[in-house]
Amino acid sequence: MYKVISREAIAPDTFDIWLEHPNIHKRAKPGQFLILRLDEFSERIPLTIVSTAEGRLRVIIKTIGKSTYKLCAVKPGETIADIVGPLGNPSEIDRFGTVCVIGGGVGIAPLFPIAKALKEAGNRVIGILGAAKKELLIMKDEFLPHLDELYITTDDGSEGIKGTVTVALQKVLKKEKVEVIWAIGPMVMMKFVSLMAAENNTLCWVSLNPIMVDGTGMCGACRAEVGEEVKFTCVHGPEFDGRKVKWDELIKRQYQYREEEKRAMEDYLKEMGGKNA
């Protein structure tokens, strides 16, 4: 059992959670993830490691369905049953020159350790952080010390540039040569960033977040077609060259799953409402 140290709402339906764990901080690297399970009856939830400190780790969770809703409802001092990790391959951090890190929505959170490591490796780091509106933008102040330049985009124009992250990326690519791009966020966002990277012949790493069950590659749920090969995100990723990802099938499966999660969430809230009546 692992204790919840703190839980803070940092945006609507988005929570910053620190958990106790004796060992993960010793091995975790940027880009890797965990699988959490609230109790023996719960789903296994994959979450990227945002930060670590001695004896503890940090995740940021957006409540999407029943399982994430229940996880985010756990109070400091209470416990969760299982934490497995670190899993997946770490980001390829090196001194490249000028790099661009792009985060959309809750995808900003897993981008943070990558941006920090790239800056520590001596790169010039340009950041682009996007959200639907100002209230949903997270971690901007935490990113600032690790960036040489920051662009903010919001769909409604409530902060920064009005539009998507690709509007800001286009400005960056017109202005200077970028050696490597990292993009983490909604599938559609990563797809269009990858297309823009391909047009500019720029390597673009994306962190895929398809359906995942066991985290060992045995279930096959997290499969993705990359180039001409089928890869499993949990063991071959989670990062892949976005220019080679076959996005349309991946997006189709993801949205089908989200609709199922939405229905499960609605049923759960109705059940809880009945119990509280």
Instruction: In whole angstroms, give the CA distance from residue 196 to residue 172.
Output: 12
Residue 234 assigned as binding residue: yes
Answer yes or no: is 93 within a domain: no
Q: How far is CA 70 from the centre of its chain?
A: 19
Please give the residue that has the higher pLDDT: either 245 or 200: 200
Percent of the chain residues past pLDDT 90, beyond the cut: 58
Lowest mean pLDDT of 43-47, 78-82, 95-99, 248-252, name the range. Answer: 248-252
Answer yes or no: is 37 within a domain: yes
**What does each C-alpha distance from 65 to 49, 70, 141 come to in angstroms?**
20, 9, 28
pLDDT category of residue 214 using cuts at 50, 70 and 90: low
Domain check: are 109 and 153 in the same one? yes
Mean pLDDT of the chain: 85
Mind listing the pLDDT tens digit for each residue in 110-150? Answer: 999 999 999 999 999 999 999 999 999 999 999 999 999 99
Domain check: are 179 and 249 in the same one? yes
**Pick from 87, 106, 127: which residue ends a domain?**
87
Q: Is the pTM of this model over 0.75?
A: yes
Domain check: are 53 and 113 in the same one? no
Domain check: are 230 and 138 in the same one? yes
Q: Domain count for the chain, please give it.
A: 2
Tell me the residue range of the domain where 111 lies. Answer: 98-253
Q: Are 23 and 86 in contact (CB under 8 A)?
A: no
Domain check: are 56 and 113 in the same one? no
Answer yes or no: is 171 within a domain: yes
- What is the sign of the dihedral through the CA atoms of 145, 91, 86 and 257? positive
pLDDT category of residue 85 using cuts at 50, 70 and 90: confident
Domain check: are 228 and 164 in the same one? yes
Residue 100 assigned as binding residue: no
Residue 222 assigned as binding residue: yes
Mind listing the pLDDT tens digit for each residue in 23-50? Answer: 899 999 999 988 888 888 778 888 889 9
Stretch 65-92: mean pLDDT, rounded? 88
